[in-house]
Amino acid sequence: MSDFNSEFWSWFINIIVVGGIVWLIYLLRVNSKGTLPPSGEAEATGHVWDEDLQELNTPLPRWWLVMFYITIVYGIAYLIIYPGMGTFKGLLGWTSVGEYEAEVAAADATYGPLYEKFQKQDIAVLAGDDNAMKTGERLYVNYCSVCHGSDARGARGFPNLRDNDWLYGDEPENIKASIMYGRTGIMPAWQASLGDEGVAQVADYVMQLSGRSVNEAEAKLGKEKYAMFCAGCHMPEGTGNQALGAPDLTNNTWLYGGSPAMIKQTIADGRTGRMPAHNEFLGEAKVHILAAYIYSLSHESD
C-alpha cells in the first residue's frame, strides 16, 4: 500500500472499509431486534407463493448472529495487525515483499551450498552430471520454458536450444553470459531504403544463400543490395556474426519463420528481440547450472 501517489486513494480505501464494517453492524442490529410472539409462531409478512407458501418473519438464530459478530471482530483485528487500511502498514509491519524475501533467504540457506558445489565445476563437465542436470531441468522449466517451450525447441522469435544454431555461439561461457546479462538483438527496417522491389530482391538472394530455388535474375540484383545494406552484420558470405548476434543466413534456420513472406517482412520491418538478464534474479550459482543444462541439450551426443 506504500506505492500510492496520492493520499486521496488511501482515504478512499479507508472510508470504504470502515463504512462497510459500520454498515454490516447496522444490518445485524436491525435484523436482530425481532422476537417470536408468545405463541411461538412467526408472523407472516404477507408474501405468498404457489397459493399457500408464505414468507414468515422469523428472527435470526442467536448463534448465527454471534458468528456474524465474531467475523466482524476478526476482520477489525486483521486490519489492525496487517495492512489493509490505505497506507497504514499494520502493527506487524508485514509486506508481501518481506514475506517473499524471507522465503528466498530460507531457500538459499538450505539449497545454496548445493548450487555452490556445482558452480565450482566446468560447465561442459557439469553437463554430464545427472543430478545437476535434474536441478538444471527444474530451473529451466520454471524460468525459461515460457519462451523457449517445455521441450526447449523454441517458437517464432524464440531460439531453439536443441539445435546447433547459436546466435552468440555455443561455447559454455557465451551461453552463461546470455543468461546472466541478457541479450538485445535489433534488425533494422529496410523498407524505406529498399522499397518493395528491393526487399523482394534481397529476400530472393537471402533464400539463395540457404540453398533454396529462387529467381536467379532477382537474386543477382538482391546480392548487390545485400552487399550494401546487410553484409556489415551478416558478413559478405551470409555466415552471420556471433559477436553481434547476427544470424547465419546460409543454414536455412529461421528465427521468425522461413517462408518468403516472413523473410520479406523481416527485411522490410526489422526485428527486435530481447533476452532478459537473470543474474540479479537467480544469482550466478543457479545460472551456472542452468547454462550447463542448456549446453547439454545441444551436445547430447558429445
Report pLDDT digits (tens) over 243-258.
999 999 999 999 999 9
Same fold, 110-182+277-297 and 185-275: yes
**Cβ atoms 201, 219 nearer than 8 A:** yes
Confidence grade of residue 197 (pLDDT, cut at 50, 70, 90):
very high
| pTM summary value | 0.70
Residue 35's alpha-carbon distances to 58, 68, 90, 142, 166, in angstroms, are 8, 18, 40, 60, 81
Instruction: Determine what percent of the chain is predicted with pLDDT higher than 90.
Output: 74
- CATH for 185-275, among 1.10.760.10, 3.40.50.960, 2.40.40.20, 1.10.246.90? 1.10.760.10
Residue range 231-236: mean pLDDT, rounded = 96
* Of the options 1.10.1500.10, 3.40.30.10, 1.10.260.40, 1.10.760.10, the CATH number for the domain spanning 110-182+277-297: 1.10.760.10
Distance from the Cα of residue 239 to its chain's centroid: 33
Q: What is the pLDDT of residue 40?
A: 63
What count of residues does the chain have? 302
The answer for residues whose C-beta is within 8 angstroms of residue 214's C-beta and 6 or more apart is 204, 205, 207, 208
Output the pLDDT for position 220: 97
Residue of 113, 115, 171 whose CA lies nearest to 290:
115
- pLDDT tens readout for residues 155-165: 999 999 999 99
Is the per-residue pLDDT at 1 higher than 50? no
Over residues 166-189, the pLDDT tens digits come to: 999 999 999 999 999 999 999 999
Is residue 289 a contact partner of residue 118, using CB atoms and an 8 Å limit?
yes
Per residue in 265-290, pLDDT tens? 999 999 999 999 999 989 999 999 99
What letter represents residue 240's amino acid? Answer: G
Whether the CB-CB separation of 93 and 81 falls below 8 Å is answered with: no
| CA–CA dist 139, 287 (Å, integer) | 9
Rounded to the nearest 5°, which phi and psi values hold at 201? Answer: -70, -45
Q: Could you report the per-residue pLDDT of 83-142, keeping only the tens digit for each?
A: 989 888 899 999 999 999 999 899 888 888 888 899 999 999 999 999 999 999 999 999
Q: Is it the case that residue 262 has pLDDT exceeding 90?
A: yes
At residue 60 the predicted structure's pLDDT band, cuts being 50, 70 and 90, is: confident
Domain boundaries, the chain: 1-32+57-94, 110-182+277-297, 185-275
Which pLDDT band, with edges at 50, 70 and 90, does 30 fall under?
confident
Spatial separation of the C-alpha atoms in residues 99 and 96, rounded to whole Å: 5
Q: Average pLDDT over the chain, rounded to whole? A: 91
* Residue 285, C-beta contacts closer than 8 angstroms, at least 6 positions apart: 112, 115, 116, 118, 119
What integer pLDDT is reported at residue 268 of this predicted model? 98
32-54 b/e with 16+ CB inside 10 Å = b?
eeeeeeeeeebeeeeeeeeeeee
Q: Which long-range contacts (CB under 8 A, 24 or more apart) does 158-163 make?
A: 158/255, 159/255, 160/253, 161/294, 161/297, 161/298, 162/297, 162/298, 163/253, 163/298
Query: Which pLDDT score, from 0 to 100, does residue 199 have?
Result: 98
Query: How far is Cα 202 from Cα 174, in angstroms, rounded to an integer?
Result: 31
pLDDT of residue 301 exceeding 70: no
